[in-house]
Amino acid sequence: MNINGKNNQRTSKRATLARGLALVLLAVVGAQGGQGVAYAQDTYPNKPLRLLVPYPPGGVTDYASRTIAERLGRELGQSIVVENRAGAASTIASNLTARAAPDGYTTYAAPVSIVINPVLQGKVEYDPYKDFQPISMMLTSPFVLHANKDFKAKDVKELIALVRANPDKYSIGTSGIGSINHLAAEYFIKTFGLKMAVIHYKGGAPAAQDLLGGQIEMMFSALNEALPFVTSGRTRGMAVSVAKRVALLPELPTIDEASGTTGFDAVFWVALMTPAKIPPQVLTRLSAAMQMIGQDQKLADDLAQKGVYLRVSGPDEVKQFMQRDGEKWGRLIRDLGIKE
């Protein structure tokens, strides 16, 4: 009996089988876009993710982002660790995301300022349209135009007439230069040809205190911030800054309704993004998970009570929001020479 011959035959067969399996694996990887053997072998996600939030803990955007992250983690079967990376009007978090590995394990609660800051700040370390992969919208929040309760105008038409008749007499407050409510104020002034002082504060709270005290006559506040003042009668609600009325303040008209114009829209939004060039199967997995979250009515109702609205979409809608607001706010910033 030739034992060595039989062993050689077995070795040859094993080698042939191994080569065959290797070719099959390579074919699978190639069909998935050549992203590497790890993605052919492993199921994404196989470890916890992180979500960068560009604001300090405790605010409504932080709460909403954490709530959505917890729900997304359940859908993905992995925990999502929230990291608050506040600073430079969200640019710090944007820079960190742009530089992170494109493996799907770094996600970003990207605010509208991602497209504003390159214009406002002059120089940032990212390109909003090239360095990120949009996944889905996450949430939107309208603004409320409200006035000091003793202000003479009772509605938007009276307000516009009064300010036009008394140029530079009245003032509107903001939570800081380049903030969305600042841009909403400038947009309102430009839309209706008004002349008034724009007073900047370090945050919405001190601006609201001066509104209550009569040091300023009006301001645009985020819905959750304006709600307790308007409902208690401490300020007078005038209108909301979006195209449709909001359920928490249904008696307030939109700016368009109140003024007789069309197209006025100023909204704060947050979208789920990752670094660019993530594997296509990761994009598919994250997108599918967000679509499931969009069907969670309990989650939507919880967020709505806080003054923010769950909004789930595909990547293209995120790109549309970015393009629209990048152009609109960028043009306004350049026209007025606004610098942070």
pLDDT reported for residue 42: 63
Sign of CA dihedral 259, 242, 334, 320: negative
The mean per-residue pLDDT over the stretch 117-139 comes to: 97
Tokens of 176: 């800081």
Encode pLDDT of 138-165 as tens digits: 999 999 999 999 999 999 999 999 999 9
Chain-centroid distance of CA 108 in Å reads 9
* CATH H superfamily, domain 142-259: Periplasmic binding protein-like II (3.40.190.10)
Domains 49-140+268-336 and 142-259 share a fold: yes
The answer, yes or no, to whether residue 227 has pLDDT greater than 90, is yes
HSE-CB of 26 using CA atoms within 13 angstroms: 6
What does residue 103 show for φ and ψ, rounded to 5 degrees? Answer: -110, 0
- CA–CA distance, 145 with 123 (Å, rounded to integer): 31
User: Domain spans of the chain?
Assistant: 49-140+268-336, 142-259
- CA–CA distance, 200 with 205 (Å, rounded to integer): 12
- CA–CA distance, 31 with 40 (Å, rounded to integer): 10
Q: 36 or 176: whose pLDDT is higher?
A: 176
Determine what percent of the chain is predicted with pLDDT higher than 70.
Answer: 88
What does residue 110 show for φ and ψ, rounded to 5 degrees? Answer: -85, 120
pLDDT reported for residue 340: 80
CATH architecture, range 49-140+268-336:
3-Layer(aba) Sandwich (3.40)
Task: Outline where DSSP puts E strands in the chain.
Answer: 49-53, 80-84, 106-111, 132-148, 171-174, 197-200, 218-222, 235-240, 267-275, 309-310
